[in-house]
Each structure stands twice: as C-alpha cells, then as structure tokens.
Copies of this chain bind each other. A is one copy, B any other.
Amino acid sequence: MRASGQTLTAVAARSGQRAAAYAAVEGFERTEPDYQSLLDAPDIDAVYIGLTTDAHVPWSIRALGAGKHVLCEKPLAMNAGEVGQLMAVQQRTGLQVMEAFIHPFHPQFDFVREVVASGRLGELRAANAVFLSRFEAADNFRWNREHGGGALFDLGCYCVSALLLLLEQPVVWADAQQEFLGEVDVTTTGLLGLPGGRAATLACSLQAATVQQLSMTGSAAHLVMPHPFSSIDSSATVTVGEHHEHFAPVNPYQRMVVHFAAAARGEVPLKLSLAHSLAQAQVLDALFRAGAGGQRTWLVAGSGTTHEG
C-alpha cells in the first residue's frame, strides 16, 4: 500500500505489541490498541480488514457503521447469508466495500476478458481452474474450520471468482469431492454446471505441489493462463490459440489499492462488486453442501440460498 500513493495511517492487531511490530516493518504512522479504536479514529477514511474469515463480515459491518470504506480479505464471508447482511448495510451507508482479490488487477485479466467478450474463443466448451499449493499443517486459521480454514476457502475461492468473472455465466449447480485433514478440507475438486449444458471444473489443495492454471476452450480457440492468480511483481503470459501475449511484471496488490481508493473517492466504479462476492459465496456454499451431502447441489439464481437437487 505504501507504493500506492495512499497514506498508511494506523494499524491495529490482536495486541498492541503485535500492532507495533507490524507498524515498524510496514511503515504505519501509528498503532491503535484494538480494532474498535482504529474504527473510531476520525482521520481514517478506509480500512483494510485482514482478519480470519469468520471475523470479516462482523468487522466490515462495524467499519461501515463507523463511516469507513472497507477493503476486506477474501473470502469475504463464511457463507452467502453473511454477504447478504453486509450488502444491506453497505446499501444503507453508500460506502464502498470490496473483497480483496488481486487477480482482476493484473493486466492479463483485462486482456482475457476482452478476448472472451470479442467472441474469439467461440462458444464455450470447457473451462478449468486449479490452485494447488502447500501449507504446512500448523496452528494457523487455515487448519481451523470455525475461523474459515480449508482449501476451498483459502484457494478455491480464487478459482470460483476467476471463473465467474471470465465465464460471465451463472453457476446453476455444483458437485464436489472433498478430502479432509483434521477438521478442514485439504483438497476440493468441483464440477460447476452452467446454463445450456456447459460446465467448468476446479481443484484446490493445501497440500500439493504448487500449480495454478486457468484454461478455457471454445469452439474456435483455446486459452491458457498459466498464472491466473498472480502475485507481487509477477509477469505473465496468456496463450490464445497460437498467440502468446506477454505482460511485464506488475504489483496487482498496489493496483488494487489504487483502484479502491479511487472508487472510495467516487472517481471510478468498483471493479469487484458485492454482487460478485455474493455469487462466489453461493457457489462456495453449494460446493461445501455437495461435498458434505454426497450429491449435486442446485443454486437458486439470485436468491442467496441453495436447496438440495
């Protein structure tokens, strides 16, 4: 954020000591003794919420109540119902809330959306997104179900978000197979039914060789993003048929913060709306229900709820 032209005013953490250590490393001007003190500070316009997933919506709602714009770590919520609650508060306040996904802020993503919109791929036949990586099982919220751990929340949400943004189609139903380690899904593999007999697949894992990839095959051309979810200072190459489109290294975190600040000032519309977060949460809910229930789960478009198929 330092490089984004915004001022890093204050940081709060679970303890004043943790906040002070973080502030020293990251260059914050001051620390606040706790989260509420930070929200009460009159000279702060926006907050970035990087707590465990179960704390995202409660603290986002408090931040809106304190008049702050909210940039919140992904996944935004524990379920679609929570996103609905947050949407209601956001609409009352008129403040901006955005789920902090970086993938839409890498230029490769705009390029792929343009390719899809141009019709260059033809009619969609297949789509697949995977985000597999390795995190040691430790005393970390990733391994704690109550706080929103597991592969689907931690990595699968990227796959779902990117597929929804690029396919530009609602997910009609989901099926999933999940492997558990302790109390969380260490791996989830999913099938997403789209309208018209189309489908997408995804896989995510917390204990695998690191692989990320998104591919879309149409009636006319095949597209591959070998690094769809990118990272700081990442270059990228997107292949469309025989064409390779190269992208110089960028910092999508910085681009995300610059964009969010501009949106908070009312200069541009938000790139990622809460409607996108709701659709994504509905798909995650459906995947969890399919994995646990052992059957395909249908989504009721737009209602924010699911029922068993």
- Interface segment among A205-213, A228-236, A245-253: the answer is A205-213
- Least CB separation from A185: chain B residue: B197
Query: A201 to chain B: which residues have CB within 8 Å?
Result: 128, 189, 191, 201, 203
Quote the shortest CB–CB distance from A201 to chain B (angstroms). 4
Given A198-B177, A209-B219, A222-B209, the answer on whether A203 and B296 have CB atoms closer than 8 Å is no
A126 at the interface (CB under 8 A from B): yes
Q: Can you list, as one digit per residue, whether each of A232-243 has a CB less than 8 Å from chain B (1) or not (0)?
A: 000000000100
- The secondary structure that dominates the A interface is strand
B128 touches A132 (CB 8 A): no
Query: A179 to chain B: which residues have CB within 8 Å?
Result: 125, 196-198
- Chain copies in the assembled complex: 2
- Least CB separation from A190: chain B residue: B191
Query: Range of interface residues on chain A?
Result: 35 or more
Given A128-B128, A207-B125, A295-B309, the answer on whether A191 and B219 have CB atoms closer than 8 Å is no
A294 at the interface (CB under 8 A from B): yes
Q: Can you list, as one digit per residue, whether each of A110-134 has a CB less than 8 Å from chain B (1) or not (0)?
A: 0000000000011001101010101
Given A128-B128, A222-B209, the answer on whether A177 and B193 have CB atoms closer than 8 Å is yes
Given A205-B126, A209-B241, the answer on whether A189 and B199 have CB atoms closer than 8 Å is yes
A175 at the interface (CB under 8 A from B): yes
Tell me the complex Cα distance, A221–B211, Å. Answer: 9
Quote the shortest CB–CB distance from A86 to chain B (angstroms). 31
New A-B pairs, 12, CB < 8 Å, besides A128-B128, A128-B203: A121-B209, A125-B205, A126-B187, A126-B211, A177-B197, A179-B196, A179-B197, A179-B198, A208-B219, A209-B241, A294-B309, A295-B295
14 contacts between A and B (CB under 8 A): A125-B187, A125-B203, A126-B130, A126-B205, A126-B208, A128-B201, A175-B296, A179-B197, A203-B217, A205-B217, A208-B217, A209-B218, A209-B221, A209-B241
Q: Which A residues are within 8 Å of any B CB, using their own CB?
A: 121-122, 125-126, 128, 130, 132, 134, 175-180, 187, 189-191, 193-194, 196-201, 203, 205, 207-211, 215, 217-222, 241, 294-296, 309
